[in-house]
Chains A and B, each alone.
Chain A
């Protein structure tokens, strides 16, 4: 055994075998915001490697979808990225509409944009405020969660549910925006800029926050593309890929909005991209509300849109078609489609193979979180444990989406 005295220091580099410690982070850990397991190999405080285990909340959505009529699959999509369920719902409706070859009217499109952008704001509010929490700033989180609550109240007014919304129908909505809903959206849009400013004042130029996030947890644009990154995580690296612009759906091409991009792909850039996207969303919602076209809240294609309840109760034909639709007896063309929307955390795709039957033959969800989360070990290699936690929350990985 070596002894240490002032003349002869113990030279650590001479120790032959490096002893790494193993740290089990998760599956349930207060810092991981969901059920993820990471077995970390640590050299002191530095991460040498990480081994991910996922699938703890796998619910076999793709298998279940093969036995459900199209309209019943909406409830499965709720439970993918549950921070912004309406985007998933509408994404699924758009996929089915693409399969059926349905053109929705402008009012439906604009209503959808309002709902989707509200959901995007809710998603980004959660993610960005949690970045704050994980870097030690709890205050911002408390500020913005009140606004998220207001968004959930709007969902409640639109469809009756808050988290797993099952919002809208194939072809449009089940009902029009009520005056109260519109009033709630307007009130929120008036209040939100102030809150966002306040939130940004707390974090954006905060020395401690910047020290924790700038040049931490970064990934290069090339690696990000290779890893299939999408959404704010990809845009933070400087690639301006946004499904809303590349393949506009639901009349997004009527709107003028900026696609913010970052430069380093680090935590701070992700934070800023999301922050800017929220401002753009507010602009879009305001424009859509002002220019909300007249028309019906659904598309008049009786083959797949449920008839009004009063007709079902009083007339024969609506009753028959209602029954047939609920039992899933609608005519579906025999083809396959890929339809994508820009969800809160990336490109949410639906690969749908229809064989003409009442259920999809095959439905695959392209879940953005599942694809980019595999880059996590590469990103955190050489980082400290506390930075790894922050990196994970900045990537906006949602367990429900990860495990399908």
Chain B
């Protein structure tokens, strides 16, 4: 399966939703509008045989306008072709459609992404924390939470570019 054919198909169907395409990465990477992620994944699954959801995870770029991202890895097992989809949402409105109705595998992956990045998967049957405790009141993988206590003065690593 050629990238160009797949892209052509995608662009003809979802012209407005394809924001950018990166063919230089190891896997064909397509950034899509967050509000059309579900139809795009459904199209890839039903028409292009991407029947396997390999991975779904979050990412946080504090300097971007749309800070929070969700990254999907889909796999077409027959043609042995992977595709990576990215969708970005703002921190104020972190809503994106849930894929649980398409892939049962998305259930826990989305819960994990919600747990760590606070992304709200609309339509998820049970969007609660999965690895952290329920009463945690923040989303720890966001970049504003440093791993180490920032007030510590006994560990000056500035010489080493940290």
* Interface residues of A, Cβ cutoff 8 Å to B: 54-55, 58, 60, 62-64, 66-67, 98, 223, 225-228, 239, 241, 246-247, 327-329, 335-338, 340, 347, 349, 351, 353, 358, 362, 364, 366, 370-371, 373-375, 378, 403-404
CA distance A335 to B23 in the complex (A): 12
Given A338-B73, A358-B162, 10 new contacts (CB under 8 A):
A63-B141, A63-B147, A66-B147, A338-B26, A338-B27, A338-B55, A351-B55, A351-B73, A374-B105, A374-B108
Binds A, one of B3-11, B12-20, B31-39, B77-85: B77-85
Q: Are A55 and B132 in contact (CB under 8 A)?
A: yes
A-B contact pairs, 12 of them (CB 8 A): A55-B132, A66-B147, A67-B148, A98-B26, A227-B104, A228-B105, A349-B54, A349-B55, A351-B57, A358-B162, A364-B55, A364-B57
Main secondary structure of the interface of A (DSSP, over half): mixed
CA distance A54 to B141 in the complex (A): 18
Q: Mark B91-127, 1 if CB is under 8 A from A, else 0.
A: 0000000000001110111001000100000000000
In the complex, which residue of chain B has the Cβ closest to the Cβ of A324?
B160
| Nearest CB in chain B: distance from A390 CB, A | 22
CA distance A374 to B124 in the complex (A): 15
Does B51 sit at the interface, judged by CB under 8 A? Answer: yes
Residues of A within 8 A of B105 (CB): 226-228, 371, 374
Known: A338-B73, A351-B57. A62 touches B130 (CB 8 A): no
In the complex, which residue of chain B has the Cβ closest to the Cβ of A223?
B104
Q: Are B109 and A336 in contact (CB under 8 A)?
A: no
User: Which 7 residue pairs spanning A and B have beta carbons closest together?
Assistant: A228-B105, A55-B131, A364-B57, A58-B131, A366-B55, A374-B108, A67-B147
How many residues of B are in contact with the other chain, CB < 8 A?
Answer: 38
In the complex, which residue of chain B has the Cβ closest to the Cβ of A403?
B131
CA distance A347 to B75 in the complex (A): 12
Residues of B within 8 A of A378 (CB): 104
Does B138 sit at the interface, judged by CB under 8 A? Answer: no
Within 8 Å by CB of A338, from B84, B112, B130, lies: B84
Residues of A within 8 A of B52 (CB): 225, 228, 241
Q: Are B59 and A226 in contact (CB under 8 A)?
A: no
CA distance A98 to B107 in the complex (A): 30
Does B71 sit at the interface, judged by CB under 8 A? Answer: yes
Q: Are B55 and A54 in contact (CB under 8 A)?
A: no
Q: Are A366 and B54 in contact (CB under 8 A)?
A: yes
In the complex, which residue of chain B has the Cβ closest to the Cβ of A327?
B160
In the complex, which residue of chain B has the Cβ closest to the Cβ of A350?
B55
Residues of A within 8 A of B104 (CB): 223, 226-228, 374-375, 378
Q: Are A54 and B147 in contact (CB under 8 A)?
A: no
Residues of A within 8 A of B147 (CB): 63-64, 66-67
In the complex, which residue of chain A has the Cβ closest to the Cβ of B162?
A358
Known: A67-B147, A227-B105. A338 touches B82 (CB 8 A): yes
Residues of A within 8 A of B73 (CB): 338, 349, 351, 366
Residues of B within 8 A of A351 (CB): 55, 57, 71, 73
Q: Are B80 and A228 in contact (CB under 8 A)?
A: no
Residues of B within 8 A of A246 (CB): 77, 80
Known: A58-B132, A223-B104, A329-B161. A228 touches B26 (CB 8 A): no
Does B89 sit at the interface, judged by CB under 8 A? Answer: no
Residues of A within 8 A of B150 (CB): none
In the complex, which residue of chain B has the Cβ closest to the Cβ of A67?
B147
Q: Are A226 and B130 in contact (CB under 8 A)?
A: no
Q: Are A55 and B130 in contact (CB under 8 A)?
A: yes
Q: Are A241 and B108 in contact (CB under 8 A)?
A: no
Q: Are B103 and A228 in contact (CB under 8 A)?
A: yes
In the complex, which residue of chain A has the Cβ closest to the Cβ of B116?
A62
Known: A329-B161, A366-B55. A54 touches B103 (CB 8 A): no
